[in-house]
Structure 1
Amino acid sequence: MLLKPRLKAALLAAASLSLLAASAPSPAAPLGIGDPLFPHLGNPGYDVRSYDISFTYRGSNTEPLDAVTKIDALATERLDRINLDFAQGEVRGVEVNGRPARFVSMGEDLVVTPRTALPAGSRMRVTVRHTSDPTPDEKYEGGWVRTGDGLVMANQADAAHLVFPCNDHPSDKAQFTFRVTAPREYTAVANGLAAGRERAGADTSWTYRTVHPMATELAQVAIGRSTVVHRKGPHGLPVRDVVPTEDRETMERWLRKTPDQIAWMERKVGRYPFEAYGVLVADAETGFELETQTLSLFERSLFTRTEFPEWYVDSIMVHELAHQWFGNSVSPRTWSDLWLNEGHATWYEALYAEEKAGQPLADRMRDAYRQSDQWRAMGGPPASPKRPAPGQKISIFRPVVYDGSALVLYALRQEIGRAAFERLERQWVARHADGVATTADFVALASRVADRDLSGFFQAWLYGEKTPKMPGHPQWRAVTAG
């Protein structure tokens, strides 16, 4: 439904019709920043600097939470309207810079009309009073996940707007403050560091703040009957694990591995990029683990299913840890750059399995090479993935962006040598820390480190329909796609 715009009451009655037409704001409509995979998400015209989000949990994970989201942003162009991504919640009121504003929900956008237009370069605070509904909706994937004792978030890809209003695209990173009120028998945790806890009657209010900017898809708030376990990592890094209280002893054999895993990653790519890290164990079957910033989300069953060998669980833990550098600190500018996240996380997962458990990297890469043409036919080349089907955003996480993209990194190491490859990895995460980057940025840096133009190499490996010959392994063969 397209609503007709209302003219501002402040316009002079004597203004001419032509002046009225020139001054009227554009009609309210869903917008996007034109991401190749999700063109209708993200919003133009402003840059979010920070979010301050409050949730009130009543003790039932089947009922909507009361919430207030405050967004501080900089207008990068004149704004007659402000589009936010938001769905799956009731909006009760909106203010812009302390003044009530009109709003309407259209598609997955909340379209806000301030009383007066915001000039380019101005600061703005948008306050939205709303609910946050954990009820599953067949139209959407992600957002709140119900656990056996509460809730956690799983906002990848572009699903944070199912939980709170935001500019839901990884290219617009911001600082976050979370304030969570819950019955005192529950524990609430979120990204970043604890910044306060207060008890009032039967409730406890918890506050957490990030130190580094974060993409919306990496936000995490977990509420449950949990125990928080503290220990130290390298250089005194705070390591905070969150587990169901009843599983505290069972999980310890896994949790105590994290400091050494961080130290291993630091030897590969440099200092851990954030203020804290930890493992969040959820009593839920999601079908995935998730690298939410500073607090990676894991299914309880990963650690309890006896058919998983220890080396496999260890390597999955390292996969999510590696994302803290690749995907979190250095975030993709578009979702087509996803291979940079998942390819690197898979690379270090496989490298850890080789070094710590004797699982040969070359064997895994040879098997990936064999399947690579089929993966490309199914999902597109690594850096030019096919768009997901409507309502199936998570389907972009295909084999080609995991082992298929780690295969590209293996080919690169074969092409430029181990020493140059390791310099590239360190320079990549250092140069783009706390920022966003593209595939073109990676190609350019790799060419500088190798001291030769690698654009042809990457064009074939990242965009070709067929997998190129593997440097150093001309005998490897790919199965023909059927």
Structure 2
Amino acid sequence: MPLIPRRLRAALLATASATLVAATLPSPMPLGIGDSLFPTLGNPGYDVLSYDIGFTYHGNNRKPLDAVTTIDARTTEPLDRINLDFTRGTVRSVAVNGLRADFAVTGEDLVVEPLGTLPAGVPLRITVRHTSDPRGDQDSGGWLRTSDGLAMANQADAAHRVFPSNDHPSDKAYFTFRVTAPKDLTVVANGLPAGTVRHGASTTWTYRTEHPMATELAQVSIGHSTVRKRTGPHGLPVRDVVPAADAARLEPWLKKTPGQLEWMERQVGRYPFETYGLLVADTETGFELETQTLTLFERTLFTNKAYPQWYVDSLMVHELAHHWFGDSVSPQAWSDLWLSEGHASWYEARYAAEHAKKSLVNRMRDAYTQSDGWRAVGGPPARPSAPSPGQKISLFRPVVYDGSALVLYALRQEIGKSAFGRLERRWVRKHRDSTATTADFVRLASEIAGRDLTAFFDGWLYGEKTPPMPGHPDWHSTQPAGHR
């Protein structure tokens, strides 16, 4: 047998070793971080620091976009596999720290195999070249097709239908979007503009966030849009993105935003982000969505005269309030959703009471009457039942809206308005740009009240039955027939 040159022999040994390692690795499988409501969502082993996402839109909202997603992260444990959440797109290639990597798609995970095990605590750059497909069931989230382009609705678990990610609110990161579209279209995304470049018949628009963001709050709008600019409190840039044909018609609504910002700042402190505005999309969703710095609203909310003015105003404040509760302070787990939706519903109700004489007490009494029924159907506020199979949005049910605002009303009754106000301001200041849990809220409320409120919260957040309302012994709750 002839001798094998030393360099070739080393290469063959390395190849054989890599083959052996690959043979001993288990088959690719979806992973999750253990969220009780979305068990396969999120991925262990790394912390995402930033996303740089490039889309190329070819002018047809029923055709896939070409995309490149670059994820900068840091490993938190040794990894021989990297799981990303991703579906509804074709993966063309993956590189890890500049080296081409093998990959497999299983379930709704993209499983990447780097060359060798990555130790804990090292930088990690993952570059995925892929398509992003707007086709499919719009009710499941992800891209929304509008009359003239696209927008996003990624809550609760749909960002990975648009781009590869660690798709769980516990792993917030900074975002850069680079979107190329035909030059006659306008592109707007979360954060502030960072330049445009014209090349032939297309324009590339770049936006960057100045604060970390959960994947479910990502937003990109592509369409024949007008961007209306104005100034909010403290010189805050406010920009609204609306269908060009509706700009004048929508102006009476849009000009309300600075005043609503001022009202929210009086309640809980300074607005926590670099900009704010409304994205009014000509599409049917059945909901509005607090995408960070650029809230998604259906056009019909403002053009359908069946909706009373006070109702539309209060929904605008609901989504604005989310920028403190849900966006800046995000839920650590999806069972903490009550902290987001309960607070947004609370300030929605407060605004309606102050500006349209819609009684807060009456609304809370009505919620109390229905609370036992809501708990029977959807679980208590901080232990909600899992969403129905194939209907993830069913997690957003009355018990996490007015059923959770009712908890805040009970707390204010228990500790007093002054202490409650201090709690709200301290909460958003302490956990700004981060995530928080129900236990964190209970701990802070107890500290400010000067006494242990664990038993109080146990009943209100986890009880099958609604506890007695402090200050209102005459209030009663009922359950629907068939529930015990």
**What does the per-residue CA deviation read over 1:443-481, in whole Å, with 9 as the maximum and x for residues that have no partner?**
000000000000000000000000010000010111133
SS at match of 2:157: coil
CA contact (8 A) 2:134 2:145 kept: yes
Q: Provide the rounded CA distance (Å) in 2 between the counterparts of 1:316 and 1:40.
A: 32
CA contact (8 A) 2:187 2:223 kept: yes
2:96 is matched by which residue type in structure 1? V
Q: Provide the rounded CA distance (Å) in 1 between the counterparts of 2:388 and 2:298.
A: 26
Partner of 2:60: 60
**What does the per-residue CA deviation read over 1:404-454, in whole Å, with 9 as the maximum and x for residues that have no partner?**
000000000000000000000000000000000000000000000000000
| TM-aligned CA deviation for residue 21 of structure 1 | 7.7
SS at match of 1:389: coil
| TM-aligned CA deviation for residue 13 of structure 1 | 5.8
1:221 is matched by which residue type in structure 2? V
Partner of 2:3: none
- TM-score norm. by structure 1 comes to 0.96
| TM-aligned CA deviation for residue 267 of structure 1 | 0.3
**What does the per-residue CA deviation read over 1:234-266, in whole Å, with 9 as the maximum and x for residues that have no partner?**
000000100000000001000000001000000
1:209–1:9: structure 2 CA closer, same or farther, 3 Å change rule?
farther
Q: Provide the rounded CA distance (Å) in 2 between the counterparts of 1:9 and 1:383.
A: 56
**What does the per-residue CA deviation read over 1:68-126, in whole Å, with 9 as the maximum and x for residues that have no partner?**
00000000011101000000000001001111100010000000001122111110100
Q: Provide the rounded CA distance (Å) in 2 between the counterparts of 1:340 and 1:169.
A: 16
Q: Provide the rounded CA distance (Å) in 1 between the counterparts of 2:341 and 2:215.
A: 18
1:322 aligns with 2:329: no
Partner of 1:3: none
Partner of 2:115: 115
Partner of 1:97: 97
| TM-aligned CA deviation for residue 27 of structure 1 | 3.1
2:344 is matched by which residue type in structure 1? A
| TM-aligned CA deviation for residue 287 of structure 1 | 0.2
SS at match of 1:111: strand
Partner of 2:353: 354
Alignment of 1:389-404 (within 5 A): 389-404=388-403
1:347 is matched by which residue type in structure 2? W
1:479–1:202: structure 2 CA closer, same or farther, 3 Å change rule?
same
1:288–1:13: structure 2 CA closer, same or farther, 3 Å change rule?
closer
Partner of 1:279: 278
Alignment of 1:172-187 (within 5 A): 172-187=171-186
Q: Provide the rounded CA distance (Å) in 1 between the counterparts of 2:122 and 2:115.
A: 15
Alignment of 1:219-298 (within 5 A): 219-298=218-297
CA contact (8 A) 2:170 2:331 kept: yes
1:403–1:10: structure 2 CA closer, same or farther, 3 Å change rule?
farther
Q: Provide the rounded CA distance (Å) in 1 between the counterparts of 2:29 and 2:306.
A: 51
Q: Which runs of 4+ in 1 moved over 4 A?
A: 8-15, 20-23
Q: Provide the rounded CA distance (Å) in 2 between the counterparts of 1:293 and 1:157.
A: 14
Partner of 2:8: none
CA contact (8 A) 2:376 2:479 kept: no
2:282 is matched by which residue type in structure 1? D
Q: Provide the rounded CA distance (Å) in 2 between the counterparts of 1:21 and 1:57.
A: 40
SS at match of 2:241: strand
Q: Provide the rounded CA distance (Å) in 2 between the counterparts of 1:88 and 1:23.
A: 29
1:9–1:315: structure 2 CA closer, same or farther, 3 Å change rule?
farther
| TM-aligned CA deviation for residue 9 of structure 1 | 7.1
Partner of 1:460: 459
Q: Which blocks of at least 5 consecutive residues in structure 2 are unaligned?
A: 1-10
Deviates more, 1:27-36 or 1:345-354: 27-36
Q: Provide the rounded CA distance (Å) in 1 between the counterparts of 2:370 and 2:335.
A: 21
Q: Provide the rounded CA distance (Å) in 2 between the counterparts of 1:190 and 1:77.
A: 33
Partner of 1:74: 74
Alignment of 1:112-191 (within 5 A): 112-137=112-137, 141-191=140-190
| TM-aligned CA deviation for residue 137 of structure 1 | 3.7
Partner of 2:439: 440
Partner of 1:5: none
- TM-score norm. by structure 2 comes to 0.95
SS at match of 1:28: coil
**What does the per-residue CA deviation read over 1:14-60, in whole Å, with 9 as the maximum and x for residues that have no partner?**
99x9xx68994343211000100001010000000000000000111
Identical-residue share of aligned pairs (%): 70
Q: Say how many residue pairs are matched.
A: 471
SS at match of 2:314: helix
Q: Provide the rounded CA distance (Å) in 1 between the counterparts of 2:317 and 2:137.
A: 32
Partner of 1:340: 339
1:216 aligns with 2:235: no
Partner of 2:4: none
Q: Which blocks of at least 5 consecutive residues in structure 1 are unaligned?
A: 1-7
Q: Provide the rounded CA distance (Å) in 2 between the counterparts of 1:158 and 1:180.
A: 23
Compute the RMSD of aligned alpha carbons: 1.7
Partner of 1:421: 420
Q: Provide the rounded CA distance (Å) in 1 between the counterparts of 2:451 and 2:30.
A: 44
1:380–1:14: structure 2 CA closer, same or farther, 3 Å change rule?
closer
**What does the per-residue CA deviation read over 1:276-330, in whole Å, with 9 as the maximum and x for residues that have no partner?**
0000000001000000000000000000111111111000000000000000000
Partner of 1:4: none
Alignment of 1:301-312 (within 5 A): 301-312=300-311
| TM-aligned CA deviation for residue 366 of structure 1 | 0.4
1:131–1:21: structure 2 CA closer, same or farther, 3 Å change rule?
closer
Q: Provide the rounded CA distance (Å) in 2 between the counterparts of 1:307 and 1:82.
A: 50
Q: Provide the rounded CA distance (Å) in 2 between the counterparts of 1:389 and 1:422.
A: 36
| TM-aligned CA deviation for residue 378 of structure 1 | 0.6
**What does the per-residue CA deviation read over 1:186-233, in whole Å, with 9 as the maximum and x for residues that have no partner?**
000000000011111111110000000000000000100000011100
1:74 is matched by which residue type in structure 2? R
Q: Provide the rounded CA distance (Å) in 1 between the counterparts of 2:25 and 2:360.
A: 58
Partner of 1:412: 411
| TM-aligned CA deviation for residue 136 of structure 1 | 1.5
